[in-house]
Structures are given as structure tokens and as C-alpha cells.
Amino acid sequence: MTLPAAELTPVLGSLYALQVPIPYPMKTVTVLLDAPRGGPLSLVDCALDTPEARQALEDGLAALGRHWSDVDQLVITHHHPDHYGLAGVIEERSGANVLMLDVEIGRGERYWHMLKEWLPGHVKHFRDHGLPDEFLAGLTGENPRVQPASRITPLREGQHVSLSGKDWEVLWLPGHADGHLGLWNAEDSTLIAGDAILPRISPNVGLYAYTRPDPLGDYLQTLGKLEALNPERAVVGHHGPVMGGVQARARELRAHHHERLDFMKLEAGKEPRSAYALSHAMFPRDLNTSGRRFALAETLAHLEHLRLLGQLYRTWHEEQEVWVYHA
Ligand SMILES: [Zn+2]
Ligand SMILES: [Zn+2]
């Protein structure tokens, strides 16, 4: 198998975006490499641990005259496997300082270290919302392509990270993940956005056993934040590496979620149903097991947002042992 040569997109000064292959439909994830002359080597995000990703990272670093062992700091936008998988490997090989937003360390990232403790709650959450057992089979929460870091340094919103010799402000952009981090450079009107906003696809916003109670409410606020920030360009996790029109895209995504909220209100108003049953109304197409779980989590994020607004209710159905949503 021949691998494509390292494709580095210049972002700003010594900062480059590298498209690293991932075995997901998005095909690649963006990893940022910053290698200022004589200065520290920084990475933002690090892809899944696959041989292809390791090779792409090695090639990208080599193109900048650097190596794994040179990495000084690794900033992670959020704990999802495609952004975090190699964190432990990079930490071990280089002794790099791994940084994440404080919220993400306490919630998402902890998931990788406490699978055994979290799994029963994870499964119960899906079951209580009607997911049939066939979609729970094989749900171990484990991912052999994720090597968690052993020490993580917390970043707080408002702090600064240095990339390409400039200060980038740490932003909290929750919704897609509880502690999703963004990096903002006002001088160059550039945002490192991870999956907080994406072109072409709507970032998945799901309610899980271990998420904040209203991820969709969080995400709608994040979209407002991005709209107000109005960056000229954003470096994005997928389908990028760089996108313009962030403000317009934020408005579009908000309208999309508002449409889905209206639809859920209408559907739940027809007859009381479980979130799983309602997820088939929202996502009627054929989905595989993990797709069905994503669909349920996304549907739940909309239903719980409406419930917390007082626009829908939920009641425990004794015989079916499931929560049902109703008007
Ligand atoms: Zn993600
Ligand atoms: Zn992603």
C-alpha cells in the first residue's frame, strides 16, 4: 500500500495543518503542527492510533525536520478517539505536556481511564431510553485505537497557548463534547475549532450517561458564541482543514437544530414514545449498530433540551421499563 506524501497546509507562520487518515466516513482528521525555528514543537490533536496515522504524523513531522520525540506540547480539542487516540503514545515517546480544557479532563477524558466504572451507567442509560439489547451487544466502551495520556495539564477558558509565536486564547465551546476547546487568535481572526463547527456535516450533539444534562442547549450557546466571534477562518477537524463563512455556518446549524426541535415536539405530541422510537422518526434510514446509538443520543439531546425548557415531559413506563416523552 502506498501512502500519500505528507500534505501540509500553511495556516499561520510556522503553524501547519496536516490531514491524517482515519477509518471513519470523514476519512481524515486535522492535526496541527507548529515547529517554530529553534522553538518548542507543538501539536493540536493527534488522530487515532492506526499504522496509517502514525505514518502520516511521522511524515508530517519529517517534512518540518522534526520527529515524534521532539514534541513539547500536545493540545487536545476534545476526548473523541479521532482527536485523542495517540495522546498516550506521543506522551510516552517525547515526554510532551498534554493539555486539555479542565472540563474535558473531568468528564470525557476520564471515560478512557474508568471504563469499568462507567460502562454499567452507559448501558443503563441506553436501555432506559428504549434501545433494544441487540444494539447493546458488544458495547464494551473499549477502543484499542485509543492510548490515553497518563498526565494531563488542565487549561482554563481565558488562558493563553502559544503557537507560531502568538498568543491564542482558550475558549470553551461545549456541545459536541462537554469540554470542547477552541483556540482564538484575534489579531489574525483565526479560530482553531476542532469539531465545534464543521462544513458539510452537522457535528454530532448527543446526550450520554456521562455528559452534561443539556448538550444541545450548550451547543446552541456555542453557536451564538461563534456567530459573535465571527472569525475570518476556522481550522476544523474534518472536511477542512480551513473553512470560511463561520458566522453563516453557525446560523445554518442553529436553524437545523431548531427545525429538529420543532419536529420532535410535533412527534412526541402525537403519542407518548420512547426516545428510541422517536429516533426512528428523526433518523428513518437504515443505520448500523453504532449509527443507531448515535441517532438515539442525538435524539435524546433534542428531547431533553425541550424537557428542560418545559415544552415536553417524560414519564417512566412501568411495564415497558422505559422513559416515554410526551406533550
Ligand atoms: Zn468529535
Ligand atoms: Zn472528530
Q: What is the rounded distance in angstroms from the CA atom of residue 247 to the CA atom of residue 196?
A: 13
Ligand located closest to 29 CA: 2
Indicate which ligand has the atom closest to the C-alpha of 82.
2
**If you measure from the C-alpha of residue 306 to the centroid of ligand 1, how many angstroms do you get, rounded to a whole number?**
24
Q: Is the pTM of this model over 0.75?
A: yes
DSSP, residue by residue, 169-229: EEEE--SSSTT-EEEEETTTTEEEEETSS-SSSPPP----TTS-S-HHHHHHHHHHHHHHH
No. of H helices and E strands in the chain? 10, 16
Is the model more confident about 132 or about 1?
132
**Which ligand lies nearest the alpha carbon of 177?**
1
How far, in Å, from the CA of 155 to the mean position of ligand 2?
20
pLDDT tens-digit readout, 25-73: 999 999 999 999 888 999 999 999 999 999 999 999 999 999 999 999 9
Peptide bond into 4 cis (omega under 30): no
Residues 6 or more apart whose Cβ sits within 8 Å of residue 288: none
What is the distance in A from the centroid of ligand 1 to the CA of 195? 5
- Expressed in angstroms and rounded, the spacing between residue 80 Cα and the centre of ligand 2 is 7
Set out the domains of the chain in order of their start, with CATH numbers: 8-271 (3.60.15.10)
Cα-to-centroid distance, 312 and ligand 2 (Å): 31
Between the CA of 195 and the centroid of ligand 2 the distance, in Å, is 5
Is residue 304 within 8 A of residue 213, CB to CB? The reply is yes
Which residues are bridge partners to 167 per DSSP? Answer: 162
Question: Which grid coordinates belong to 204?
Answer: 454530532
DSSP secondary structure code for residue 281 in this structure: H
Of the listed ranges 46-60, 132-146, 197-211, 218-232, the one predicted with least confidence: 132-146
- Cell numbers 493527534 correspond to 46
